[in-house]
């Protein structure tokens, strides 16, 4: 047996799978029905124990590590599993899918990620919704739990998932011209692979740099700036704020996704706050306040922008249909836009994929 012990002392017991390791982290839930290979490798989950509310997990296994034209992994959003641990109601070790190469449990075992099955994830999720996200730990049978748990959001989680040196990606020749031979420099705060791919498919040269890389003193020339998704509290990334603030001063076209929206808002002068339990799923409804159109989106974040603190030259562009939190912002006159959701999907619907085209037009 293994136990999930929450910071308030609540204990959920179940059967271990994956690695037999003890870990701690922030316990969060995801209400999506599918997409666990992509979700588990999303850097935005760094420091978190993930609870999947869909009852059966693992039935279609895990695909291979093949890479695309640009050397990016086809089936995963980073090069490794990013979550601390996984909690499911019913784990399926017998998988069936034409692309599957191994079970979810074996994949987790190879990367030293523990899981627990047999947990009442409905009851656990209800507790997290009422109390808010909580710290917790997975403890194997016979092991003693940690006396005190550290909140991972107090650390700079972005530094742990960002690259260390710049990487330049060139578009496929057949796509050159679609992006008007433009170049984007991307601040990697935990970027998902399909974001990179989404720009490259549009013929844009993509320069990926570390989270605190001074793009203003670099050798690179660029037409626009992208601020990536990622984990943790956006307020601790003061070095990134300074870099983006200069982009606003220079009026360079800038787009942010998820954490990138929060960073852009802070650089503009707004403030952020922590949500009670965040938005994590592929079924979050978002309303474009200009067109009144509603989109289904993929999301993974625990912080949000306080709309009341946005400067007067910025507007709330989109909002969450469930709780009316900020899902998109833009400048009234200058080429600055950002969304809280993931238009690149993986996993999730591709309803908002058009936003990449809209930004390329701004370059």
Mean pLDDT of 140-166: 96
Q: Which pLDDT value is given to residue 149?
A: 95
Mean pLDDT of 232-250: 98
Q: Which domains does the chain have, with CATH numbers?
A: 2-154 (3.50.30.20), 158-362 (3.40.50.880)
**pLDDT (tens digit, 9 = 90+) per residue, 86-140?**
999 999 999 999 999 999 999 999 999 999 999 999 999 999 999 999 999 999 9
Q: Which pLDDT value is given to residue 167?
A: 98
pTM: 0.97
Catalytic residues: 258, 342, 344
Residue 176 has pLDDT above 80, yes or no: no
Average pLDDT, the chain: 96
Distances (CA, A) of 10 to 7, 25, 140, 152, 275: 7, 15, 16, 20, 22
Residue 179 has pLDDT above 70, yes or no: no
Q: Which pLDDT value is given to residue 181?
A: 86
Residue 177 has pLDDT above 90, yes or no: no
Mean pLDDT of 262-284: 97
């Amino acid at each position: 047996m293994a136990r999930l012990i929450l910071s308030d002392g609540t204990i959920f017991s179940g059967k271990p799978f994956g690695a037999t390791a003890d870990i701690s982290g922030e316990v969060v839930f995801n209400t999506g029905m599918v997409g666990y290979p992509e979700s588990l490798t999303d850097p935005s989950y760094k420091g978190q124990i993930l609870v999947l509310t869909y009852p059966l997990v693992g039935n279609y296994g895990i695909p291979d590590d093949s890479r695309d034209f640009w050397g990016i992994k086809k089936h995963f959003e980073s090069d490794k599993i990013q979550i601390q641990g996984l909690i499911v109601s019913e784990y399926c070790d017998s998988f069936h899918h034409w692309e599957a190469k191994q079970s979810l449990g074996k994949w987790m075992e190879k990367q030293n990620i523990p899981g627990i099955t047999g947990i009442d994830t409905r009851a656990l999720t209800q507790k997290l919704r009422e109390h808010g996200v909580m710290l917790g730990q997975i403890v194997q049978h016979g092991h003693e739990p940690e006396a005190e748990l550290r909140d991972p959001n107090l650390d700079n989680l972005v530094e742990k998932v960002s690259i260390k040196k710049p990487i330049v990606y060139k578009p496929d020749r057949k796509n050159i011209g679609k992006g008007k031979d433009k170049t984007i420099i991307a601040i990697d705060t935990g970027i998902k692979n399909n974001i990179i791919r989404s720009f490259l498919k549009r013929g844009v040269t993509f320069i990926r740099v570390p989270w605190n890389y001074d793009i203003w003193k670099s050798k690179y020339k660029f037409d626009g700036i992208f601020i990536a998704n990622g984990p943790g509290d956006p307020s601790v990334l003061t070095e990134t704020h300074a870099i983006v603030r200069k982009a606003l001063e220079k009026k360079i076209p800038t787009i942010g996704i998820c954490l990138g929206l929060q960073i852009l808002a802070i650089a503009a002068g707004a403030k952020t706050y922590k949500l009670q339990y965040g938005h994590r799923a592929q079924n979050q409804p978002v309303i474009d306040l200009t067109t009144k159109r509603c989109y289904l989106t993929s999301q993974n974040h625990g912080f949000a922008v306080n709309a009341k603190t946005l400067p007067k030259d910025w507007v709330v562009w989109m909002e969450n249909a469930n709780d009316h939190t900020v899902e998109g912002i833009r400048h009234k006159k200058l080429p600055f836009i950002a969304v809280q959701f993931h238009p690149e999907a993986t996993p999730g619907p591709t309803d908002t994929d058009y936003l990449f085209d809209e930004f390329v037009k701004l370059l």
